[in-house]
Amino acid sequence: MIFVDACFGKKTPYTPVWMMRQAGRYLPEYMKVRDEAGDFLSLCKDPQKACEVTIQPVDILGVDAAILFSDILVVPLEMGMKLEFLKDEGPVFSKPILNYKDLDMLSVEESAKKLEYVYEAIRLIRAKLSKDKALIGFCGAPWTLATYMIEGKGTKTYAKVKKVLYSEPDFLHALLRKVTDALKLYMQNQIESGVNAIQIFDSWASALEESAFFEFSWSYMKELCDYLKARYPHIPIIMFPKGVSGFLDKIDGNFDVFGVDWSTPIELAKEKLGDKYVLQGNMEPTRLYSKEAIDIGVDKIVKVMKNRRHIFNLGHGILPDISVENAKYFVRLVQERTSI
């Protein structure tokens, strides 16, 4: 698999490419299956349909890897929280985790078992997906999940979770410990079910100052890597902490690929981390609105990364109103421009 080879820094005939959120609303084929399922969560819980939408972007766009169709929030859901996806608000947990009593209600072993629909989807996808295409499994970073669990929904200020961080750090650590333990089992089960690589999404890393990032987020992400690498050294791990361009000097750990978000100049990531890790990224996702903007965006990254250890991707997820034609154009352009 060219994708897995690239994750381990081996030479490949071209730079493999995929897009975060590649299975999603910009594809009419996705909307059809989601509407059949009823809603987003029902789609996540239906292995047949999750399999179908996972493979759609591989067939339609020709990307080099599929990413499991699911969501990072199914873990807190199956740990025992009530989750809804509301039309204008996005994900909402109606009863956030506020104290040790709430924390005690959350299950670890039980949640890993309840996520069986994810493992079944993985088995179906791996049986159906072409042998040369990788399947990427994923989870949210403990910090990003804990943020949702305490805030109850997306936030601009992170006021609730940061109040906890600075006034009750032991409580936050207890929550992070529990989530990390659940993620170890969940990732282990995803790997045993057949994923070829995993990505850990730390979307809210950008909310933290340096010392807090390393104490409350990165340490738990690293612990998860150590746990998985001790058992599955052949499965590449991609870390995607968003918004940490100021701390690249201090990034280290037992993983293979560093996902560069679009706000970090790729030259900077190359200088600081390019010798230690394969880099993934990082075209600004809204460049997909225009072919000219795609040409310029791809050209720049190719110039910096050509023949270097690199996986092409956007610097965050594709937006729902991007045209399929432009998404296809991007994928083909990367594959052509990087061919040896």
Establish whether 332 is a catalytic residue: no
Nearer to ligand CP3, 73 or 134 (CB): 73
CA-wise closest residue to 241 among 253, 258, 229, 227: 258
Could you say whether residue 331 binds ligand CP3 (CB under 6 A)? Answer: no
Distances (CA, A) of 326 to 25, 131, 196: 15, 26, 28
* Least gap, CB of 91 to ligand CP3 (angstroms): 5
Contacts of 97 (CB under 8 A, 6+ apart): 81, 103, 106, 149, 150, 175
> Pattern 58-97, binding to ligand CP3, x per CB under 6 A?
---------x-x-xxx-----------x----xx------
Nearer to ligand CP3, 201 or 247 (CB): 201
Give the one residue of 16, 24, 152, 285 binding ligand CP3; rule: CB under 6 A. 24
Establish whether 34 is a catalytic residue: yes
User: DSSP character for 17?
Assistant: B
> To 10 degrees, what angle do helices 169-193 and 159-167 make?
110
Could you say whether residue 311 binds ligand CP3 (CB under 6 A)? Answer: no
Nearer to ligand CP3, 313 or 335 (CB): 313
- For 201, the 3-state DSSP assignment is strand
Q: Considering 5, 14, 25, 308, which one is annotated as catalytic?
A: 25
Could you say whether residue 3 binds ligand CP3 (CB under 6 A)? Answer: no
Establish whether 25 is a catalytic residue: yes
Indicate the length of the chain as a whole number.
340
> Pattern 116-145, binding to ligand CP3, x per CB under 6 A?
----------------------x-------
Nearer to ligand CP3, 4 or 73 (CB): 73
Could you say whether residue 28 binds ligand CP3 (CB under 6 A)? Answer: no
With b for 16 or more beta-carbon neighbours within 10 A and e for fewer, the 82-91 pattern comes to: ebeeeeeeeb
Q: Structure tokens of 84?
A: 């809804």
Establish whether 71 is a catalytic residue: yes
Give the separation between CA 139 and CA 190, rounded to whole angstroms: 10
> Sheet containing 278-283: which strands, arranged edge to edge?
65-67, 134-140, 197-202, 237-241, 257-259, 278-283, 310-314
Nearer to ligand CP3, 62 or 154 (CB): 154
Could you say whether residue 261 binds ligand CP3 (CB under 6 A)? Answer: no
DSSP string, 98-148: -SHHHHHT--SHHHHHHTHHHHHHHHHHHHHS-TTSEEEEEEE-HHHHHHH
Could you say whether residue 40 binds ligand CP3 (CB under 6 A)? Answer: yes
* Least gap, CB of 40 to ligand CP3 (angstroms): 4
Nearer to ligand CP3, 199 or 335 (CB): 199
CA-wise closest residue to 208 among 158, 255, 250, 146: 158
Could you say whether residue 38 binds ligand CP3 (CB under 6 A)? Answer: no
Q: Which amino acid is at 315?
A: G
Q: For residues 155-214, which are near ligand CP3 according to CB under 6 A? A: 201, 203
* Least gap, CB of 44 to ligand CP3 (angstroms): 8
Could you say whether residue 25 binds ligand CP3 (CB under 6 A)? Answer: yes
Beta bridge partner(s), residue 312: 17, 281
Q: Considering 46, 71, 181, 256, which one is annotated as catalytic?
A: 71
Give the separation between CA 61 and CA 18, rounded to whole angstroms: 9
The residues of the shown chain that bind ligand CP3, judged by CB under 6 A, are: 20-25, 34, 40, 67, 69, 71-73, 85, 90-91, 138, 154, 201, 203, 317
Residues designated catalytic: 21, 25, 34, 71, 148
